[in-house]
Structure 1
Amino acid sequence: MQKIAVLDYGMGNLHSVASALQKVAPGEEVVLATEPHQAEGADRLLVPGVGAIRDCMEGFVRPGFAPLLRSAIQSGLPVLGICVGMQIMMRRSEENNGVDCLDIFPQPVKFFGRDLRENNERLKVPHMGWNRVEQKRDHPLWHNIENGSRFYFVHSYYVPAGGNEDIAGQAEYGVSLAAAVARENIFATQFHPEKSADAGLQLLKNFVAWNGRI
């Protein structure tokens, strides 16, 4: 039996993530870890997140999750980030007048803007709803997921796709954004796989089976 630790740092309802994991991996142990010691012995880590980046960073750093995450990455443990769980791994976010993040990935997190347009039509911010994701590289977490599948997004800030060497999936919403990034044993998505029907459940199933290698 594997132990899958979902890091609970007080940002968002994590039960939908845990329920989705239990659905795709009923024989595994899914733990909501509110403190680092509760994630000890985990075979893989999942970093979710919903909310403002400053609160997320404070909630993540205060209990000591940052060194736990860095240690897991260094040891080769499979890591999955979701939504703000992806953004906190970036260098810096424009949200809340600028917040330094964990700098695991070198990219910035930018605001969509108040006049976001596509084909001369104004787009709503936050970006909320289903969007197609173009797979930009082969990766075990895309296994059995058709290229161009639709996933569910909710966000006002994004990681740019242009010049992003870590991009694994791309979506379009007035700008080209990184729907997923990947490096070695880390895979992170801007979309919510737990809310993305069959394609999202398949991605979570792939994460449970992934050995952390590409």
Structure 2
Amino acid sequence: MEKENIPPSGARGQIVIIDYGAGNIQSIKFAIDRLGYTAILSHDPQEIKNADKVIFPGVGEASSAMKKLKESGLDTLIPTLQQPVLGICLGMQLMCNYSEEGNTDGLGIFDVNVVRFSESSSPAGRDVKIPQIQWNSISKLSSPLFKNVAEDAFIYMVHSYYAPVTDQTIAVSDYGIPYSAAFAKANFYGTQFHPEKSSRVGEQILKNFLQL
């Protein structure tokens, strides 16, 4: 007799990756598949509302991505979700109040404005190149999202804009100045980095989110 296909410990219900035309959705889906979970891609409001976990990705330019969210009504839906929601990269930035990129109003979930890195000499005494495209470390980890993740673990960053450190920050990185590598507020989480591209550390963070 074949064994029943039992999901990993902590998995239940549907995992939905929001597909709104501005995300690196396939790489996230493949990362979830590798962990032994199954996720669907959807922009259907009812499927998103009924999901057990929601992942809100984003790659591209803030104002264009927000326009796509508004066209589908997802800009009003996402802030009302009650299940765990994870915003990734631009997705996290769109969950903030405002972004300087394209003079864009965000979803207002995280109480902070997103600003552009400066190419001038930083307080650390070095110039920064924009965008930041590199492996960087995360520290001051303070959330179950980082269970079994070591301080100063390395993750993969690709971004020109950043969110300053606030009381909702759960991980900090540094690129000339310290900034928020991750946020948490109630059921909402956000990572500036790409967990799906961050090797075993990223896999652990995705696994932690799926087991919240």
Tell whether the structures are fold-level matches, with TM greater than 0.5. Answer: yes
- The aligned residue for residue 58 of structure 2 is 49
44, 48, 59: which one pairs with 1:35?
Answer: 44
Larger radius of gyration: 2
Contact 2:153 2:201 in 1 (8 A): yes
Q: What displacement does 1:40 show?
A: 4.3
Contact 1:2 1:29 in 2 (8 A): no
- The aligned residue for residue 11 of structure 1 is 22
- The aligned residue for residue 9 of structure 2 is none
Structure 1 residues 21-78: Cα deviation after superposition (integer angstroms, max 9, x where no partner): 1111x2x431101332342421011000011100111111211212321221xx3x01
| Gapped regions of structure 2 (runs ≥ 5) | 1-11
- The aligned residue for residue 205 of structure 2 is 203
- The aligned residue for residue 142 of structure 1 is 146
Contact 1:31 1:39 in 2 (8 A): no
2:118 counterpart of 1:104: no
Contact 1:152 1:191 in 2 (8 A): yes
| Gapped regions of structure 1 (runs ≥ 5) | none
CA RMSD of aligned residues (A): 1.5
Question: Percent same amino acid among aligned pairs?
Answer: 36
85, 90, 100: which one pairs with 1:94?
Answer: 100
Q: Tell me the matched-pair count.
A: 201
130, 147, 172: which one pairs with 1:125?
Answer: 130
- The aligned residue for residue 154 of structure 1 is 158
TM-score calculated relative to the size of structure 2:
0.90
- The aligned residue for residue 69 of structure 2 is 60
TM-score calculated relative to the size of structure 1:
0.89
Change (3 A) 1:56 1:184: same
Structure 1 residues 158-195: Cα deviation after superposition (integer angstroms, max 9, x where no partner): 0011xx11000000101111000111211100000000
Change (3 A) 1:46 1:202: same
Separation (CA, whole Å) in 2 of partners of 1:116 and 1:94: 20
